[in-house]
Structure 1
Amino acid sequence: MVSKISNRRTKIPKKASPKHHQRRRKKSPLKSLAAAPSALASSIDRSLRSCRRHLLKLFTRLAVLGTPTKLPRKTGGYCRLKPLSDEALHHPPSPYNPLPENTHNNKKKTIFLDLDETLVHSQTDPPPGKYDFTVHPMIDGRIMTFYVLKRPGVDEFLKAISKSFEAVVFTAGLKEYASLVLNQLDPTGELISHRLYRDSCREMDGKLVKDLAGVGRALDQVVIIDDNPNAYSLQPENAVPVSPFVDDLGDRELWRVMEFLEVDLLRCEDERDAVACYRTGNAMEVKSS
């Protein structure tokens, strides 16, 4: 009996370990890194919303300060418009560069003159075999040289028409170039009354057109002398066409036009009638007014 008791092992219960002795699990560094961008984005979003609220408040205050407390009262009611005169109806203002009013006492008729291939011919390098003078305009940041040959009779032509007509050069050339050429043709400024350049032309279908209806002169009192039909395509009935001049020193075109201007054009009340006769070869039969 004793031996049975001594051989039996008594089981001693294990004591429960206190909680503070348990090992805590550390958070995974990968999970911490994954949560960082989300927190940063949330912080930026809060900052943007706060900034937007402040800006709205600021602009609201500025709008209140800039708004007048009382609007000015309109006085006088409706304004009655004056009727347009016959002159204004037939010759409305142009958005281009109209000429100043014709101040000649006898209201001279107006001759519009083309420049290149009508009064002169010019070219750049290389120099041609014959030319009368050179000009050196600056175009697109570069100084260029133009060799200019005057059409035979151009000096006499300008002197003659300036006595009886208002001579206006209307060129599609750039002002930088054309103004220097005209200074050579008319150094005193007494022959050519006005100058119109490319900025006074209208661009139509890629072509430069000289609209005589937009320069402040009555169409029955003007003619245009030009070698390019595209230039006067809007008013062909006002055009005296001439052959293009290049280098023919035996050219007599300006003498022929001068005779027409001095003999036939001055006698007509409507210059378009004289032009029609000239173009059909019956210029000398124009009836005087």
Structure 2
Amino acid sequence: MVSRIVKRTPIKSIRDCRRVGSRAHSRTRRSPIKGCVPTSSAPASSSVLASINKSLRSCRRRIIKVFSKLARITTPKSSLRKKGFKILNKLPYEEATVAAPGSLASTCKFLAFEDVSALPPLDSPTRKTIFLDLDETLVHSKSDPPPENFDFIVRPMINGERLNFYVLKRPGVDRFLRAISQSFEVVIFTAGLKEYASLVLDRLDPTGAMISHRLYRDSCREMEGKFVKDLSGMGRDLRRVVLVDDNPNAYGFQPENAMPIAPFIDDLKDAELGKLAKFFEGCEEFDDMREAVRLYGLLEDEDHCKLVVQ
């Protein structure tokens, strides 16, 4: 309806001019404005142009509204409710690390692996950091029925259910934490749920004097159903970082920073933490902790070879 009005307005004015056949008609031919409006009447010409522009804008808005309604009508509401956003496939870490800067793959790496668990800055830039696993590294936990030996019980609420976990501390864990916390920043990095692990850590370090930070399962990267502990986004120089863990899958991203440890279950004669404490005592001489880890691994292999020969 609006488009017809816009079309008829100039036609009607031309017919009126032709009926008149006066000097006004001859003057309009010399006017730069179409539509038989005398050049001397500037206000009238401005009002005609304003009216035309207003009609065109109104027509455009109505056309946009019509097409918007058609788009909503043709799109089933049920599909919008049920399908939602499409879940993107995970980008493999190795593929992202070799991507060219500024490429789509490198952008995906940033979006997929942008760190949300970065630790607060260190008080001293020269201070080294030890990331410690919890289960089978510092303690061993078991649910009901209770085992023969345990040191304490924690009762977390998981999925709306109160569960009992009987926790056995690895021999020497208290002494080990006290020793390394004097020279290192100690961070517990566990794949366990926060509801459970936080209760265990409260018993290991009730005053918070030894453990600087705690990272739980939500800080791990899930790759092929396995929880991997990525140290690259923690805000720490990888030259000054060591991860102690009994699970090789945990340090798949930075194996050169990993200090493997035998898993602990219930061996009350276990002495792994004592050997580990001696290792960290000698780490002050190394600027790059990865070099210390490499040398420790070589020494372990030599000792193992000697035992085999004997």
Q: TM-score range by the shorter chain?
A: 0.5 to 0.7
Deviations 1:61-82 (A, max 9, x none): xx9xxxxxxxxxxxxxxxxxxx
Structure 1's unaligned 5+ residue stretches are 1-55, 64-91, 284-289
Question: Does residue 98 of the first structure (1) align with residue 123 of the second (2)?
Answer: no
Is the 2:115–2:234 contact (alpha carbons within 8 Å) kept by the matching residues of 1?
Answer: no
Is the 2:154–2:165 contact (alpha carbons within 8 Å) kept by the matching residues of 1?
Answer: yes
CA distance in 2 between counterparts of 1:146 and 1:229 reads 25
Aligned to 1:140: 159
CA distance in 2 between counterparts of 1:233 and 1:136 reads 32
Aligned to 2:179: 160
Q: For residue 267 of structure 1, what is the amino acid of its counterpart? A: E
Deviations 1:247-278 (A, max 9, x none): 00000000000000012x11101000000000
Is the 1:94–1:215 contact (alpha carbons within 8 Å) kept by the matching residues of 2?
Answer: no
Deviations 1:149-189 (A, max 9, x none): 00000000000000000000000000000000000000000
| Change beyond 3 A, Cα 1:188–1:218 | same
Aligned to 1:276: 294
Equivalences for residues 52-63 of structure 1 within 5 A: none
Equivalences for residues 30-45 of structure 1 within 5 A: none
CA distance in 2 between counterparts of 1:107 and 1:179 reads 28
CA distance in 1 between counterparts of 2:144 and 2:184 reads 36
Instruction: Give the C-alpha shift of residue 106 in structure 1.
Output: 5.9
Deviations 1:189-211 (A, max 9, x none): 01000000000000111100000
Q: How much identity, in percent, do the aligned residues show?
A: 60
CA distance in 2 between counterparts of 1:155 and 1:111 reads 16
CA distance in 2 between counterparts of 1:249 and 1:215 reads 34
CA distance in 1 between counterparts of 2:177 and 2:291 reads 23
Equivalences for residues 240-279 of structure 1 within 5 A: 240-263=259-282, 265-279=283-297
CA distance in 1 between counterparts of 2:186 and 2:133 reads 11
Greater Cα radius of gyration, structure 1 or 2: 1
Instruction: Give the C-alpha shift of residue 94 in structure 1.
Output: 3.5
Question: Secondary structure of 2:252's partner?
Answer: coil
CA distance in 2 between counterparts of 1:205 and 1:181 reads 28
Match of 1:112 among 122, 131, 136: 131
Aligned to 1:206: 225
Question: Does residue 193 of the first structure (1) align with residue 193 of the second (2)?
Answer: no
Richer in helix (by share)? 2
CA distance in 1 between counterparts of 2:221 and 2:162 reads 27
CA distance in 2 between counterparts of 1:219 and 1:271 reads 8
Q: For residue 250 of structure 2, what is the amino acid of its counterpart? A: A
| Change beyond 3 A, Cα 1:216–1:106 | closer
Aligned to 1:234: 253
Runs of 4+ more than 4 Å apart = none
Instruction: Give the C-alpha shift of residue 282 in structure 1.
Output: 7.0
Instruction: Give the C-alpha shift of residue 95 in structure 1.
Output: 2.6
Question: Secondary structure of 2:278's partner?
Answer: helix
Deviations 1:48-97 (A, max 9, x none): xxxxxxxx99x95xx9xxxxxxxxxxxxxxxxxxxxxxxxxxxx993331
* Matched pairs, number: 196
CA distance in 2 between counterparts of 1:151 and 1:234 reads 27
TM-score norm. by structure 1 comes to 0.65
| Change beyond 3 A, Cα 1:251–1:282 | closer
CA distance in 1 between counterparts of 2:216 and 2:168 reads 20
